[in-house]
Chain A
Amino acid sequence: MTVALALRLGDDALILSHRLAQWSSRAPELEEDIALTNIALDLLGQARMLLGRAGELEGRGRDEDDLAYLRDEREFVNCLLVEQENGDFAVTMARQLLYSTYQLGLCEVLRASADAVLAAVAEKAVMEVAYHRDHAARWTVRLGDGTEESHERMQTAIDRLWPYTAELFESDAVMPEAAALRPGWDAAVDAVLAEATLRRPADGWSPTGGRRGLHTECFGRLIAEMQHLRRSVPGARW
């Protein structure tokens, strides 16, 4: 169970990190370029520790790089939310708000994990993710409660990503506590949306399957890009 959990969280962090890194040199302003890549870096560090631990526990001799670069699409168990395309800046911030609120709640629980490595990674991550969340919340408020156009775009972004949040709270044997995270997440997200003068979307269509390796269309292109160098030039070194 611990292997599966480390893999899920490691994949979430890796894929979200990759998406954020795609903003590098393309963000709307220099400060935000640095912010997004710094958040990506924190997540990449978390991914390395989590995938490293998953490989260790799995006992098949795979290290963090093998897990990141040599698994196929169907073997990744990240949630669908983190793989969604960057879209405009509002979509990226909405994704960050929705995911980091969930990640923060999850890490707070995992600090008490029986696995010492997972507990230690979660303990570190809580401090980092709280800052990521705060950053995304500020932008959500600034854009939501901003101009007519920024409000419209922020609402569209939240509406577009909302369906992918239901998956986060599906409890199963690997994450029995997932459903219990929902009330805390609801309260935190609702507070930000209210301050941002945004409407909470109605729950409806809610795609799922990421935790079982069933991904959305954009994911194949993401891992093709992410894994290309390692697969084309095996054993390449700096």
Chain B
Amino acid sequence: MDRAERVRALVADVPDPEIPALTIEDLGILSAVREDGDTLVVEITPTYSGCPALEAIREDVERRLRDHGHTGVEVRTVLAPAWTTDRITERGRRRLAETGIAPPPPPHEHPTGVPCPQCGEPDTELLSRFAATPCQALRRCGACREPFAHLRAHR
């Protein structure tokens, strides 16, 4: 494993500050780790323009690297290509559902229904188009009546 691969493996499981059950790799926020001369560059991509978690993620990544003795590493924010929910990995979608957050549709698939992450009931209704974080909406299950968050398609 070269240095870039080792660093990638080290920072890949830094948790997302707002949905800690998911890592920055699961969410597709960790874009690349590459050598730039003597510097190792870790590129992270914001989900939404105003995502307040980005500063925290940057600090977490820097701390993780410092704690493991890596110097000469720079964390850069890259805007392009823009983040979409299609960057969330299969494991990320699974973990979202396990946390009780309905995942977005798989990449390139049209949004259809949003089944309840609690009981699997397909009949659910939208309560609010905005919720706890910019990427979520609030829904309610027609069967178990539990409200739940939905990480809505953003693409």
Chain A contacts to B: CB under 8 angstroms: 31, 34-35, 38-39, 41-46, 48-49, 116-117, 119-121, 123-125, 127-128, 131, 135
Contact = CB atoms under 8 A, between A and B. Distances in A.
Nearest to B81: A123
Interface residues of B, number: 22
A44 B50 contact: yes
9 contacts: A34-B132, A35-B128, A35-B130, A38-B134, A45-B50, A45-B51, A48-B49, A124-B82, A128-B134
Contacts of A34: 128, 130-132
Contacts of A38: 130, 134
Contacts of B110: none
Interface in B115-155: 127-132, 134, 138, 154-155
A135 B7 CA distance: 41
A135 B130 CA distance: 10
Is chain B's interface secondary structure helix, strand, loop, or mixed overall?
loop
Given A117-B79, A121-B79, A123-B80, A128 B48 contact: yes
Contacts of B80: 116, 119-120, 123
B82 A127 contact: yes
Contacts of A125: 49
Contacts of A135: 129-130
B139 to A, nearest CB: 12
A116 B82 CA distance: 12
Given A46-B49, A116-B80, A127-B155, 16 more contacts: A31-B138, A38-B130, A39-B130, A41-B134, A42-B49, A42-B134, A48-B50, A119-B80, A123-B81, A123-B82, A124-B46, A124-B82, A124-B83, A125-B49, A127-B82, A127-B154
Q: Is the interface of A mostly helix, strand, loop or mixed?
A: helix
Contacts of A131: 129
B111 interface: no
Contacts of A127: 82, 84, 154-155
Given A31-B127, A135-B129, A120 B50 contact: no
Contact of B50 (A31, A41, A116, A117): A41
Nearest to B83: A124
B128 A45 contact: no
A49 B79 contact: yes
The 3 A-B pairs of least Cβ separation, nearest first, read A45-B50, A45-B49, A120-B79
A121 B130 contact: no
A46 B48 CA distance: 9
B128 A46 contact: no
